Amino acid sequence: MTEQVGLLVLKHNYYQNRAITMIEHNSVNNINDVQWLIDVLEKSGHLDKELEVIPNHKQLLQRYQQTSGLVRPEIAVLLAYSKQVIKKHLLLELSGLDKSLFEQELMQYFPLQLQEMYREQIKSHCLAAEIVANGLVNSFVNHMGMVLAFRLIDETACSMVSIFNIYKQVCHTFAVSDLWHQIEAGQVNLQGDIEAELYSEIRKIIERAMHWFLSQDQEKIDIQLYIKGIAELKTNLSDFVLEPENKDIYNKVGDLVNKGVPENLAFNIGTLDVLYLCLDVIWLNKKTNYSLQDCSKVFFALMHNLDLLWLRDKIKLLPDTTVWESLARRSAREEFNSVCSHLSLATLQEESEGMEEKVDNWLLKSDKSIIRYKKLLALVHSGELIELEKITVLLKELRGLCI
């Protein structure tokens, strides 16, 4: 049992060190996020920048110009303060944490023998709240970084406890723990930069999916519906994803395999981007009672016919170096998701029986508006720069097609 406790301590130390390495690499390109977090911690009275020898605005700007970021001791200090603040807020709201998540997090803190022998006593442990909060905060910050929780609260006005509820929902939906386990369990022997790339891909999907769930009515989310839906759609991707998108998945998977990633893990990582889009497919399934297969066929047919995947990729490339740019890009992404799901909803409401007929009839009925949209799209295609103004106009044209 002592050995198990020791392993848990070593595991936590490993995750913490990996988190510092991740933040160290990311801080080079995300110096504005770092500065924003320092300001948040300082203004709230949790950080004395001079006492902790944390760089000021001018020093951070100089480092950015020299393509360098935070150093590891600075990161360790900011990481510790960030975890303290997040934990403090989470403890105040812990009564709102999903009960099954609370119990799961509490139980897994103890060795298996103790879980089996003293389950009821563990549930009433006097430090249960602190144990759960510690476990959740460490997992979240070590995997997602020290800025995201503060950003989500600032951008969406959500509560701290809702962040952790949704974080775990997203991890279950996309079987993230299995992906982490595949990377960590010694099944893969990868160079550091390849391993970092895999973690980065997982992190991006978690963050996007958290934003997606936060934009929904929390009381109406049936998480089991999304878990089952993603698992079902993942096994049948080739049935509804059209050739260009299938080719894109094939290329992503092939690239990872060529870098030494096992084929199964490469497929799981390479399909995350498409599976994220499937959140809207599951929403359609719930909204219309059409099967997942029918909803997915309509959804991806429209994505193909309206060149929406290209538009989505360009939204990803919008700058996010400042707080306002980050907010603008997130708003564009949310509007894109909403437009795609409502276009599909309008198509599914066509009277035709077959899904292909529904798509053809809707495209024919909307022909004039689609021609205008495609002319604007061609103009954007021909330009070298993708600007928010152009994206906004295209999204407005697409929104008009939903009516």
pTM value > 0.85? yes
The predicted pLDDT at position 30 comes to 79
In the block, residue with structure tokens 């977090």: 37
Specify the pLDDT at position 6.
56
What pLDDT is recorded for position 2?
Answer: 54
In this prediction, residue 156 carries a pLDDT of: 87
The DSSP line for 169-213 is HHHHHTTHHHHHHHHHSSS----HHHHHHHHHHHHHHHHHHHHHH
Where do we find the tokens 């096994």?
235
Closest among 391, 261, 373 to 315, alpha carbons compared: 391
Provide the pLDDT for residue 319: 83
**Residue 88: predicted pLDDT:** 95
pLDDT of residue 3: 54
Spatial contact of 253 and 270, defined as CB atoms under 8 Å apart: yes
The pLDDT value given to residue 25: 85
Q: What residue ranges do the domains of the chain occupy? A: 1-173
pLDDT of residue 202: 95
Q: Is the distance from CB of 296 to CB of 278 less than 8 angstroms?
A: yes
* H helices present in 219-322, as ranges: 223-234, 237-240, 243-258, 263-270, 272-288, 292-305, 308-316
Q: What is the mean pLDDT of each run of 10 residues along the chain (403 residues)?
A: 57 81 84 89 92 90 83 93 96 93 90 88 92 94 94 90 95 93 72 84 94 84 92 86 76 89 91 93 92 93 91 86 81 91 93 90 92 91 81 93 82
